[in-house]
Copies of this chain bind each other. A is one copy, B any other.
Amino acid sequence: MEKHEIIFETYLNHKGLKYTLPRKLILETVFDLHMHFDAEQLYDLIRNISRSVSRATVYRTIPLLEEAGLIQRSLRNEARDTFEHILGHPSHAHWVCKACGVVVETDMRDVEMLLQDKSRAGNFTINNINLQISGWCRKCQRRAHEPYRC
């Protein structure tokens, strides 16, 4: 049994809930997926595996995964809430290009150390960090210097 499964099952037990097949399928799909996702994408992927998981269950399971510390809310894409799994995923920043939309992730352990210091000073216990930088990527640089991109 993989680590994320153990965590999820432990979490569910603590809450008096059960590690059922639909929940198992959702968890596995999330951890097979090495990218951001939204509820609909998750639902589609699971549908490919099994017809027996409903959209409602997907929506109901997402907050559980969040509470268990396995996924976190991420950049909002268009109108949809998006998430990413965070187990064994070192802290990273998202650099989002406002012109072409490309998202690049970079390590941010240095930033994290800085924040850990601050959190000690402020008596705050960090659970997770979400750092998003928007601007213009190398390719779109030129456009960034125009007054307003039209």
Q: Give the CA-CA distance A136 to B69 in the complex, in Å.
A: 13
Interface centre among A93, A118, A122 (most CB of B within 10 A): A118
Main secondary structure of the interface of A (DSSP, over half): mixed
Let me know if A106 and B122 touch, CB within 8 A: yes
Q: Determine how many copies of this chain the complex contains.
A: 2
When A125-B135, A144-B125, A150-B15 are in contact, do A111 and B106 touch as well, CB less than 8 Å? no
Q: How many residues of A contact B (CB 8 A)?
A: 43
What 0/1 pattern do residues 123 to 150 of A give for CB contact below 8 A with B? Answer: 1111111111111111001001001101
Query: In chain B, what residue has the closest Cβ to A95?
Result: B124
When A114-B111, A148-B11, A150-B15 are in contact, do A135 and B127 touch as well, CB less than 8 Å? yes
- Chain A interfacial positions (CB closer than 8 Å to B): 10-11, 14-15, 67-68, 73, 76, 81, 93, 95, 97-98, 104, 106, 110-111, 114-115, 118-119, 122-138, 141, 144, 147-148, 150
